[in-house]
Amino acid sequence: MHAWPLEINAVRSTPFFCITHLFFILCALAPIAAHASGQAVSQLEIGVGVGGVRFPDYPGAAEYSTLLLPFPYVVYHSRYLDVNHEQVRGKLLSGHRLSLDVDFAGAVAVRSSRDRERQGMPDLDWIGEAGPALRYHVWGNDAGGTRLDLVLPLRVAVSAHALSLHHRGFVFAPRLELAYQIGEGDHAFNIQTGVSALYASQGYFQYIYGVAPQYANPERPTYTAPGGYGGYTLSVGGSLHRGNMVYGSFISYTNLAGASFLNSPLVSRTHGLAFGIMVAWIFKRSAN
DSSP reduced 3-state for 205:
helix
pLDDT digits (tens, 9 = 90+) for 168-189: 999 999 999 999 988 776 778 8
The yes-or-no verdict on residue 198 having pLDDT over 50 is yes
What percent of the chain is predicted at pLDDT more than 90?
59
Contact 144, 171 (CB under 8 A): no
| Cβ pair 271, 232 in contact under 8 A | no
**What is d(CA 46, CA 42) in angstroms, rounded to the nearest whole number?**
14
Terminal Cα-to-Cα distance of the chain (whole angstroms): 29
Q: Which CATH number fits domain 6-287: 2.40.230, 1.25.40, 3.40.50, 3.30.420?
A: 2.40.230
Q: What b-and-e string marks burial along 81-90, b requiring 16 or more CB atoms within 10 Å of the CB?
A: bbbbbbbbbb
Q: Check residue 34 and report its DSSP letter.
A: H
pLDDT interval class at 6 (50, 70, 90)? very low
List, in sequence order, every residue forming a beta bridge with 161; answer none if it has no partner: 164
What is the C-alpha to C-alpha distance for residues 200 and 172, in angstroms, rounded to an integer?
6
Read off the pLDDT of each residue in 25-48 and give the average, rounded to a whole number. 55
pLDDT of residue 144: 56
Whether 39 has a pLDDT exceeding 50, the answer reads: no
pLDDT tens-digit readout, 19-28:
443 444 444 4
**pTM, rounded to two decimals:** 0.82
Which run of H or E residues covers position 28? helix 21-36
Report DSSP state, residue 174.
-
Averaged pLDDT of the chain: 83
Q: Which helix (H) or strand (E) holds 32?
A: helix 21-36
Dihedral (CA of 197, 254, 240, 51) sign: negative
Cα(47)–Cα(161) distance, integer angstroms:
30
Q: Is residue 54 a contact partner of residue 251, using CB atoms and an 8 Å limit?
A: no
Query: In DSSP terms, which residues pair with 232 in a beta bridge?
Result: 197, 255
- Give the pLDDT band (50/70/90) at residue 89: low
pLDDT at residue 270 in the model:
97
Q: What are phi and psi of 52, to 5 degrees?
A: -130, 140
C-alpha separations of 207 from 130, 148, 200 in Å? 18, 34, 11
